[in-house]
Amino acid sequence: MPLRLILPVVGLKLEVVVLCLKEGQESIVQKAWHASCSPCPRTSCPSPRVKNDGMKPRISVVLTTHNGASRGYLVEAIESVINQSYENYELLIVDDGSSDHTRKQCSLFLENPKVRYLHQENKGLAGARNTGIQSSGGEFICFLDDDDVWKPDKLQRQIDFIEARLSKSDNWGLVFTWLELIDAQGTVISFRGKRAEGRIYKKLVLENIIYAPSSVLVKREVFEDIGLFDESLLSCEDWDMWLRISKKYLVFPVKQYLVQYREHQNTMSADFDRMLSSAMIVLDKILQETPGEICAKRAYASLYLNRSVVFFAAEKYDSFREFFLKGARLSLRAVTVGHLLLFVLSFTGVRTVRVVKTSKRKLQKLLKPWGLKAPG
């Protein structure tokens, strides 16, 4: 088991190298994953380490970054945490082996006693989040990617929701918010938000309706119960985690657009093979865990259809149609009206699609105050 690190925050500039000791030469998570597709058992994932400095914040914010300074959004992400109206938090910036000037940018914020900087050798996104969880001390844990942005009242709205709706319930595990999708320049291009709440496990198998780790707030005890992120997954480690949580705990949305999720059009399909492979691993595991509970054909069809949308957004319409048809052949029940509209639009050409996207964006902005969604 990892050694417990006690890291008091005293308001000084501090750089901490987190030493993550492993049992043997291979991490426990990787052993368990490669041995079978069974769920990550409680003994296979180290429990979060809790600080004992008598000054625990209520929320721990884990901001992960790898060469975030070069990408150009890191400072904006950090400032969106520091500018929160809710103040009882700590911010842990986990630098996952950056080789650029990320350390220098982070050092600008270390005079703030709420901010800590942790540098480690590159372990991947799951490993960076796990380091943050293990080093945190809050009752609740939030995540933020280094290119996303929080609205100033994001944390306050989630705390208000918990105190108003969930204070008398012990069986909830995660609260997420709705999203604004923004482009590289920060312009809002779309909106994402689902109303599903409570037992959302089956819905989550068919689609990752939580969308982005930057929107979630998780109870610390949940990680202590089900374990940490699966570091053997190259992608979709967040979907895997939300599935594990929702299988045992209630999940609720705060139906407000409190997070800006940055969508990089030029890289959307670059990692598609890796994403699809990891998604298949997660789905295979889920179907083995719950035989007969979920229709396998519909689940795989939904996976293909959801991935096809990535190609549509990247204006790769031949690839979009290929994956659309794969999904439709497996299960027509998985095909939604939105998928059908995209299929038709894919034959009209890039210029027409862009006009439709612009019109949809304007309609979404009109419907946003009422929490409604534009079709398609």
Instruction: Write out pLDDT tens, residues 70-108.
Output: 999 999 999 999 999 999 999 999 999 999 999 999 999
Average pLDDT estimate for 321-341: 95
What are 3-12's pLDDT values in tens digits?
333 333 333 3
Residues in the chain: 376
Contacts of 283 by beta carbon, 8 Å cutoff, 6+ apart: 205, 299, 300, 303
15-263 topology per CATH: Spore Coat Polysaccharide Biosynthesis Protein SpsA; Chain A (3.90.550)
Amino acid residing at 196: A
Average pLDDT estimate for 10-28: 34
What are 223-234's pLDDT values in tens digits?
999 999 999 998
Residue 38: predicted pLDDT: 33
One-character DSSP codes across 42-67: GGGSPPPPPP-SS---SEEEEEEESS
Q: Is the pLDDT of residue 325 over 80?
A: yes
What are 240-296's pLDDT values in tens digits?
999 999 999 999 999 999 999 998 754 444 578 888 999 999 999 999 988 888 899
Q: Where are the domains of the chain?
A: 15-263, 272-370
Residue 363: predicted pLDDT: 72
Q: Burial level of 131, CB count in 10 A (0-12/13-18/19+)?
A: buried
**In the chain, which ranges are E strands?**
15-17, 59-65, 89-96, 115-120, 140-145, 149-150, 172-182, 188-192, 217-219, 250-262
Residue 327 contacts residue 298 (beta carbons within 8 Å): no
Residue 275 pairs in a beta bridge with none
Residue 371 contacts residue 364 (beta carbons within 8 Å): no
**Calpha distance 13→278 (Å, rounded):** 38
- pLDDT band of 45, cuts 50, 70, 90: very low
Contacts of 364 by beta carbon, 8 Å cutoff, 6+ apart: 190, 191, 373, 374
Read off the tokens for 230: 């699966």
Q: Is the pLDDT of residue 306 over 50?
A: yes
Residue 155 contacts residue 84 (beta carbons within 8 Å): yes
Residue 264 contacts residue 186 (beta carbons within 8 Å): no
